[in-house]
Amino acid sequence: MRRLLLDGDIGRWDAIGEALLLCAARRDHVAAVIAPALAAGAWVVCDRFADSTIAYQGYGRGMALADLATLQRLTLDGLAPDLTLVFDLPVALGLARAAARPGAADRFERLDRAFHERLRDGYLRIAAEEPQRVAVIAAAADIDTVHRAVLAVMRDRLGIEVV
């Protein structure tokens, strides 16, 4: 499903089609990996989870947030992260970093700057609406500074020291 979503023409899917594909993949991941790991008492760390769908397909692509909330309820079956980190940086810098990575840009990276501005705004709105769960990390800094900020958030929010 990842290749279906990331490869091809930027107009390949509309927001609803993207959301349905993402939610199907996430539902499978929750049922097969996340729920069993949590039941076994393990920590689970995900790169992109439910907030990403709200940000990308909702704020970025214009799908109704209420419809996305319904899909999330069906997909996650009540599961919610204890902590979400939003790595925030100016859009121009984010696009430059993406362009500097090896390989071709994916469908989302090729969307226009206005999409990426809406996407950033969406993540920041999510963080403002749920400040107890979502921490915003200033990601324009050097990697060591960002790393220290992540460790501090984990210590302060989860009460754990990570080395």
For residue 25, pLDDT beyond 80: yes
Q: Which domains does the chain have, with CATH numbers?
A: 1-81 (3.40.50.300)
137 close to 77: Cβ distance less than 8 angstroms? no
Residue 102: other Cβ atoms inside 10 A:
4
For residue 59, pLDDT beyond 90: yes
- Better-scored residue on pLDDT, 13 or 151: 151
Per-residue confidence (pLDDT) for residue 92, from 0 to 100: 93
Whole-number Å distance between alpha carbons of 143 and 149: 10
pTM of this structure: 0.87
Whole-number Å distance between alpha carbons of 46 and 79: 13
- Better-scored residue on pLDDT, 112 or 139: 139
Per-residue confidence (pLDDT) for residue 110, from 0 to 100: 75
